[in-house]
Structure 1
Amino acid sequence: MIVDTHLHLIDRRALRYPWLTGAPALNRDFSHADYAVEARRAGIETAMHMEVDVDPADIEAETAYVKALASDRESLVSGAIVSCRPELASFPAYLERVRADPFVKGFRRVLHVVPDDVSEGALFRENIRKIGGSGLTFDLCVQPHQIPKAIALADLAPDVRFVLDHCGVPDIRGKADHPWRAHVAEIARRPNVIAKISGIVAYADPSSWTVATLRPYVEHVIASFGWDRVVWGSDWPVCTLGGGLSTWVAATHALLEGCSEDERSRLLSANARRFWNL
């Protein structure tokens, strides 16, 4: 069975998503009900919701919304990675509120949608260090050329557990290896960073990718981080841009052909349960 560590739900009636106006293929509602039918058929038994970069005024409302969905006995959602703004002076108070809620498992601030110097600010870095000891993780969503910015954060906050989203977002469609390959190998040297094998079908040519297309990228990430520091995520509904949830699950199983049952189990579920106490 699979633990999905990267599920997005979109409900435009409940929350505001400014970025959706620039993403017409995703500018509609994506409900838990729609996800759950396909997820169960694909062998997904539980999921963590990943924040969807809502309007900043809706950040805590998004957490409350997802938590309410998770309270349903039939829900697959067992935790949430919530949005945050470490660049603001209000972050420490927000951190304390979040720490009191066991449903919240970590934070994410999407860094490729803001200027690079945001993560280099003194207040941002001070606030990231405050996460240390809380048991909460911080997801790093960056482009390949920004991975050194992520490395700097990991070095500055060795007590914080970081998660590199989407294999470091390689340009699979463009068949680009540089600087992604070297940067992934370098960030993997930090023991406080794990990698998420999540939704990379969205970065491949939707009309022509095959398992062979994805294999060099997935194998490099696993070889760099090792089987104990990788987890799996769907990145639904973004993965629909490259074939959809069932296609990505099927590709994952094909990519793991030849691996031991223990290695497969660690990637698909055991590591996630251990990292986030699911």
Structure 2
Amino acid sequence: MIPIIDTHLHLIYPDRFAYPWLSGAPALNRPWSIEDYLAEARPLGIEAALHMEVDVDERHSAAESRFVTELDGIVGAIAGCRPESPDFERQLDDLADITGLRGLRRVLHQAPNTLSQTPHFVENIRRLAAHDLSFDLCVRHDQLPIGQALVDSCPEVSFVLDHCGAQDITVGNLSPWREHITELARRPNLNAKISGIIAYAGKDWTLEAIRPYVEHVMESFGWDRIVWGSDHPVVTLGGSLTDWVGATREIVRGASLDEQAKLFNVNAKRIYRL
């Protein structure tokens, strides 16, 4: 069983941090600890995880990443940030000092389309390169052209497209998502994360229904520019961590062992400098 580095783990500690969005997500609005995650993850071959910020209250962004990087099984963190903020330079300096920080993310799929398109936002994202930090791109399928514009404006920054860029896509309706992914993959500074699919496919998803999404991203980006993520616990909206690991392993079963290793751990080590 090829070992997995999970590049997209969310942990929720409501006794420590504030997550304003959870009040509107009752299925997820409870503690999700590292201990509970590892109990399911380790038997599945998940040996380590990169923590992805949980759109925590802006005041807690640095504290969240400092806390999780001290937890068992966590090999790095992606911190939340606000590149639209006038004091982003100060925020970036503070975050960059965190041991184990590997990148930043600003959730865009619930933000106005114009947020990431201002010269100020672009200039601040370009600052990540000097700190050797990547940027996880979290956009809806209809926002992929906006994501493309940001990637094009920051050629020196390494980006990772979260969740196959497939938020809110109805399973079976591949266009125009498919064409956008093909075009996005032409950007050499953009990688793609195989994650999040079943959370947006509903409880009745099937392997054959999600397969075209996963395979198209893999074919477009190639085996050297993809990583795997659980999106736990958001994944539980459509199944379980066990379901998602099993589905992914089945989809790539026909690939070579070297190709599978690239998806599950080798690329993560390189892209996130683990």
> Which residue matches 2:5?
3
Residue 171 of structure 1 deviates from its aligned partner by 4.2
Per-residue Cα deviation, 1:33-89 (whole angstroms, up to 9, x for no partner): 100110101100000000000111221221222133x2xxxx110100000000012
Residue 96 of structure 1 deviates from its aligned partner by 2.1
Residue 234 of structure 1 deviates from its aligned partner by 0.2
> Which residue matches 1:195?
192
Which of 181, 201, 218 matches 2:214? 218
Which of 111, 115, 140 matches 1:114? 111
Q: Distance in 2 between matches of 1:61 and 1:102?
A: 12
> Which residue matches 1:268?
264
Q: Distance in 2 between matches of 1:100 and 1:55?
A: 19
Instruction: Name the SS for the 1:227 alignment partner.
Output: coil
Per-residue Cα deviation, 1:134-183 (whole angstroms, up to 9, x for no partner): 21110010001101111111111100000000000254544221221111
Structure 1, unmatched stretches of 5+, are none
> Which residue matches 1:242?
238
Structure 2, unmatched stretches of 5+, are none
> Which residue matches 1:165?
162
Q: Distance in 2 between matches of 1:185 and 1:245?
A: 28
1:255 maps to 2:257:
no
Amino acid at match of 1:196: K
> Which residue matches 1:36?
38
Q: Distance in 2 between matches of 1:256 and 1:266?
A: 11
How well do the aligned residues superpose, as a CA RMSD in angstroms?
Answer: 1.2
Which of 82, 86, 93 matches 1:85? 82
Residue 102 of structure 1 deviates from its aligned partner by 3.6
- Say whether the 8 Å CA contact 2:141–2:169 is kept in structure 1: no
- Say whether the 8 Å CA contact 1:3–1:268 is kept in structure 2: yes
Q: What TM-score, normalized by structure 2, do the two folds share?
A: 0.96
Instruction: Name the SS for the 1:139 alignment partner.
Output: strand
Paired residues, what number? 272
Q: What TM-score, normalized by structure 1, do the two folds share?
A: 0.95
**Identical positions, percent:** 52
Amino acid at match of 2:66: A
